[in-house]
Amino acid sequence: MKKILQDLNFSEVEQLVLASGEKKFRARQLFEGLTAGRKISEISSLPRAFKDKLLEEYEDEPVKIKEIFRSADGTEKYLFSLADGSLVEGVLMKYKYGCTQCVSTQVGCRMGCNFCASTLGGLVRNLTAGEILAQILAVNALHEGDEALKGRGREARTVTNIVLMGSGEPLDNYGETVKFLRLVTAGDGLNVSARNISLSTCGLVPKMYELANEGIPLNLTVSLHATSDEERERVMPVAKAYKIEQILRACAYYFERTGRRYYFEYTLIEGENCDEAHARALVSLLKGRPCHVNLIRLNEVKERSLKATGEKEAYRFLGLLEKGGLSATLRRQIGSDIGGACGQLRASYLERAGDGQD
């Protein structure tokens, strides 16, 4: 596999261009072409000889959309193919305020959470910062002519918000994830505000402290899914290494360093964590902290035995949290008719390929 130009910031692209013997202004042409989601070979402002030279060393299209699935609610799910043939997936969710893209940071995952399809085959490899970024560039390019999805001014692109909640644990690929965050928030790049970016972690406590010190005030989201360490260990192996109290201390430090309230994801699993006793326990655990709870109805994975709670029970649980004084919402279920949960599309494709259907 060749190197990836999207791994480079503008200053690094400029150095590359000058080292190639090209004029300095070519750097802006190259960088703007890449930021627009163009292949190297498609950037018409560049001399063909220069493009051919670049293609000897760099991938023309490091990430391409292999399949698109569209939900009845407007959600789009993508199967991305990487240059080495690896597959990851992403989701574009359309809201009144703009479009949010969920991106992957790893091929597969090694965290082993029982409710997630991404971890079924384990971790294959980490993505580079440029491969994470290129997922967004590909979706922006796909919708380039769709004026209805574009924002205004500096936000004149489809993807206005980003969530790192796709395949993989972002903090398990810490260096490339932070590099991606710096690339995507750069003023001469996509210029996405850190406040429009959410990073979801299963609770890798040491890396949470490191992230707090990076000076990137994004929205930190922690997958909690239980109110005690014992129950959390049943669905999340990482809980054996990092206890809930350690996670809460790391979150408090994040708030102290960034001034940003933090979020907890709590997936409602039938018979596991969504009765009145668990609601009271969650209130006791989190009340008074600068946080918000996102309740999620489980997207069932056929390889797992866990079942989603009913809608009525989910709203009852939400009511108990609100009555107890917690800031909480029940996340709207979107994309369920196209395998909206992370890892489901990749797993389905690999299963079809194994059966000779692709």
193 shares its domain with 73: yes
Give me the active site residues, please.
89, 342
23 shares its domain with 151: no
115 shares its domain with 175: yes
244 shares its domain with 281: yes
- The whole-model pTM stands at 0.91
pLDDT of res. 16: 98
233 shares its domain with 323: yes
User: What is the extent of the structural domain holding 82?
Assistant: 63-354
Whole-angstrom distance, CA of residue 341 vs CA of residue 117: 8
pLDDT of res. 204: 98
77 shares its domain with 146: yes
Divide the 358 residues of the chain into consecutive groups of 10 and give the mean pLDDT of each group: 97 98 98 97 97 98 96 92 96 91 96 80 95 98 77 65 96 98 97 97 98 98 96 93 98 97 94 92 97 88 64 94 97 63 56 53
pLDDT of res. 153: 42
* Residue 352 CB neighbours (<10 A): 11
178 shares its domain with 129: yes
247 shares its domain with 330: yes
75 shares its domain with 188: yes
34 shares its domain with 86: no
Looking only at the bridges linking them, the beta strands covering 159-164 and 106-108 are unpaired
Q: What is the DSSP string of 199-255?
A: EEES--HHHHHHHHTTT---EEEEE---SSHHHHHHH-GGGGTS-HHHHHHHHHHHH
Residue ranges in 61-215 assigned as alpha helix (H):
129-142, 174-185, 205-212
- Choose one of 36, 55, 74: the last residue of a domain: 55
* Residue 272 CB neighbours (<10 A): 20
Whole-angstrom distance, CA of residue 44 vs CA of residue 276: 62
Structural domain tally of the chain?
2
164 shares its domain with 270: yes
16 shares its domain with 81: no
